[in-house]
Structure 1
Amino acid sequence: MILVLCGTQKQDFTRLIRLVEQVANREEIIIQAGHNHYETDKMKLFSFIPNDEMEKLYQQASLIVTHAGAGSILQGVKNHKKIIAVPRLKKYHEHVNDHQIELATKLEQLGCILTYQDGEDFISLYEKAKTFNPLPFNQKGNIEGLIDQSLEKYLK
């Protein structure tokens, strides 16, 4: 099962839902769509999922495809899950800045996650994820510190 997390931002992020719909015929897909409105009979969409249910879904998922929000990625890394992060982009009005690119890129460089690059073939990345073995986050310090560093310049 693929767990898809669009985040809680009110800006539209149906781009993520359209990407994962490309592989809906291969695996069950459960989406926490947040404030996004999307019609499909190929995937199970929920606006928001209670925390206790979400924890179970994280455990059951073979792959997490998520916006590149710190909380969603951190939860996946802590659960030792394969993660494809799809950063929300300012140019598509999905966020107010591009801080998600920086965080996702850094975690991909460390071998913890895979990151979707705008315009990339999602199906190829999905296939790559099947054999991807994420490294645990073991940099000196901790993942929360990395997140703080990545966000710091946007908060000034």
Structure 2
Amino acid sequence: MIFVTVGTHQQPFTRLLAAVGPLAGVDELVVQHGSAPAPPEAAVAVPYLSFAQTVAYVERASVVVTHAGVGSFLVARRAGHVPVMVPRLRRLGEHVDDHQVQFARALEEQDDAIAVLDVAGLLGAVRAVPPRRPVAAARPGTLPAAVRRALDGEPLGSAAPRWAPYAAGRRSAAT
């Protein structure tokens, strides 16, 4: 299964979605399409998914195609994928700046992603995806669990972070 996600950004990502049709000939196509219309070639198409649903699709997928969002990359990478990343472009009104281009290129330089700026190369990029890597083990600590709860919309509690006294001290010393 090929999982395609455009993330939760409010601007539609029609350029990517218009290019996914040929991927349906490679494998079953599951698409999270955001505010744009669903591609007709998708076996499953949903506007938005919870974090847990996204993780489940990523873990089942043979290939992950994503906008170049940090969260989407981390989920894919943690599941062992080298994702195909199609960054949103400012000049096309897909985002407010080109930080996704910079991020995708930096990851590609490290062999952690395949960056696709021209969607005409999407099918070739999907066919070039290397086998999945060993799944990254979770590091001990509360941050990963807190991020997962936040993304799932669960309350995080009101405990002050460990660095709060230091930040308060800097503020009071500056006033």
Take 1:96 and 1:79, find their aligned partners in 2: how far apart are those partners? 29
Unaligned runs of 5+ in 2: 137-175
The alpha-carbon deviation at position 117 of structure 1 amounts to: 2.2
> What SS does the corresponding residue of 1:31 show, helix, strand or coil?
strand
Residues 33-48 of structure 1 mapped to structure 2, 5 A cutoff: 33-48=33-48
Alpha carbons 2:18, 2:39 under 8 Å: kept: no
> What SS does the corresponding residue of 1:77 show, helix, strand or coil?
helix
Q: Which amino acid aligns with 1:28?
A: E
Take 1:119 and 1:39, find their aligned partners in 2: how far apart are those partners? 15
Take 1:65 and 1:42, find their aligned partners in 2: how far apart are those partners? 13
Give the equivalent residue in structure 1 for 2:71. Answer: 71
Residues 84-103 of structure 1 mapped to structure 2, 5 A cutoff: 84-103=84-103
Alpha carbons 2:29, 2:41 under 8 Å: kept: no
> What SS does the corresponding residue of 1:4 show, helix, strand or coil?
strand
The alpha-carbon deviation at position 12 of structure 1 amounts to: 1.8
Give the equivalent residue in structure 1 for 2:153. Answer: none
Alpha carbons 2:80, 2:132 under 8 Å: kept: no
1:70-122 deviations in Å (ceiling 9; x for gaps): 11011111111130000000111000100000001000000111010225422
Give the equivalent residue in structure 2 for 1:82. Answer: 82
Q: Which moved more, 1:83-92 or 1:47-56?
A: 47-56
Q: Which amino acid aligns with 2:88?
A: R
Take 2:45 and 2:93, find their aligned partners in 1: how far apart are those partners? 22
Greater Cα radius of gyration, structure 1 or 2: 2
Give the equivalent residue in structure 2 for 1:124. Answer: 124
Residues 1-156 of structure 1 mapped to structure 2, 5 A cutoff: 1-118=1-118, 120-129=120-129, 131=130
Q: Matched residues, percent identical? A: 29
Unaligned runs of 5+ in 1: 138-156
Alpha carbons 1:12, 1:93 under 8 Å: kept: no
> What SS does the corresponding residue of 2:23 show, helix, strand or coil?
coil
CA RMSD for the aligned pairs? 2.1
Q: Which amino acid aligns with 1:35?
A: S
